């Protein structure tokens, strides 16, 4: 099958909260870096055409410079790009966002800790996306001690969920004990952590644990690995490269396929601002790795 005919449906589905999504999704972080907003809008529309119905974003996905071209203000926000490209939204589209870190044009990047600050971030997401509720909100945590207990922050989001502003809750950059603490407060439908074939493999057990509990595990930086915001991994991985050659695909497609092979509850959200890369990423949904391939990848 031609690569541009493989859609996100080839990855299978998972029920995220009360909504069934294709396991191959899209991450919007890199869209704000494109100097041409029109291309970002085209990538988002093409993603939906290719069957993507799970888009990940955050109010702090923002490029402070330049002009948006689709709204007001000097900053380019991923949430506003999503609204410009896709509103009115398809009924089957789930948009997941994050709160915790934030961006203010006056003070730059900040962190929301109090219930009032978290509510303000939720309201900002609602405003920029043009919605009356958020499908899924992940509380983005830091691996450093916080002056405000997790229970207070997650509890504030649970109250907004009870008020109807949020449908489902998740955690980002979380540890197993934080998942346990949050689940005592409100249902958690997903954990979103940095994870990949050669990065953060100490979380293998956490991935398995989430599967046992029926919680989606959503790796970010599956392509970038420890390079994180710097972009897709440039260093070679001999095992990944060998599997890619055997299948006649790219190493990035093998990395995404490996992610999906970690379990039916594992979702992929690769991000790109390049239309060609988008097609290749989505096509990884149809790549089936053998037991030998998986053993070679470790």
Q: Which residues are catalytic?
A: 61
Complete DSSP assignment for 136-167: EEEEE--SS--SS-HHHHHHHHHHHHHTTSEE
Q: Cβ–Cβ contacts within 10 Å for residue 13, how many? A: 16
Q: Please, what sign has the CA dihedral across residues 245, 221, 3, 10?
A: positive
Q: Cβ–Cβ contacts within 10 Å for residue 45, how many? A: 12
CB 94, CB 136: distance < 8 Å: yes
Six-digit token pair at 184?
A: 């005592």
Residue 163 neighbours by CB under 8 Å, 6+ apart: none
Residue 221 neighbours by CB under 8 Å, 6+ apart: 194, 195, 196, 199, 227, 228
Residues 104 and 216: their CA atoms lie apart, in Å, by 31
Q: Cβ–Cβ contacts within 10 Å for residue 38, how many? A: 12
Q: How far is CA 73 from CA 67, 105, 211, 228, in A?
A: 7, 9, 42, 28
Name beta bridge partners: 15: 20
Six-digit token pair at 75?
A: 């900053």
Of the candidates 34, 50, 60, 29, which has an alpha carbon nearest to the alpha carbon of residue 194?
A: 29
């Amino acid at each position: 099958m031609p690569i541009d005919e493989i859609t996100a449906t080839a990855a299978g589905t998972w029920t995220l909260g009360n909504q069934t999504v294709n396991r191959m999704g899209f991450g919007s972080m890199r869209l704000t870096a494109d100097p041409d907003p029109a291309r970002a809008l085209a990538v988002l529309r093409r993603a939906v055409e290719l069957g993507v119905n799970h888009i990940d974003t955050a109010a702090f996905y923002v490029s402070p410079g330049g002009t948006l071209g689709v709204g007001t203000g000097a900053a380019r926000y991923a949430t506003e790009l999503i609204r410009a490209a896709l509103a009115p939204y398809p009924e089957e589209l789930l948009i997941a966002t994050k709160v915790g870190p934030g961006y203010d044009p006056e003070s730059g990047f900040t962190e929301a800790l109090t219930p009032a600050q978290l509510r303000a971030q939720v309201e900002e997401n609602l405003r920029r996306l043009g919605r009356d509720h958020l499908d899924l909100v992940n509380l983005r945590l830091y691996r450093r001690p916080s002056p405000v207990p997790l229970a207070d922050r997650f509890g504030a989001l649970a109250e907004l969920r009870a008020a109807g502003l949020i449908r489902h809750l998740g955690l980002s950059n979380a540890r197993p004990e934080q998942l346990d603490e949050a689940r005592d407060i409100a249902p958690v439908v997903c954990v979103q952590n940095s994870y990949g074939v050669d990065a953060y493999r100490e979380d293998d057990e956490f991935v398995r644990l989430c599967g046992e509990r029926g919680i989606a595990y959503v790796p970010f930086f599956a392509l970038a690995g420890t390079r994180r915001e710097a972009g897709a991994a440039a260093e070679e991985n001999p095992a990944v490269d060998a599997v890619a050659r055997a299948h006649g695909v790219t190493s990035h497609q093998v990395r995404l396929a490996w992610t999906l092979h970690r379990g039916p509850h594992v979702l992929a959200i690769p991000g790109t601002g390049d239309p060609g890369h988008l097609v290749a990423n989505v096509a990884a949904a149809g790549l089936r790795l053998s037991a030998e391939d998986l053993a070679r990848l470790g």
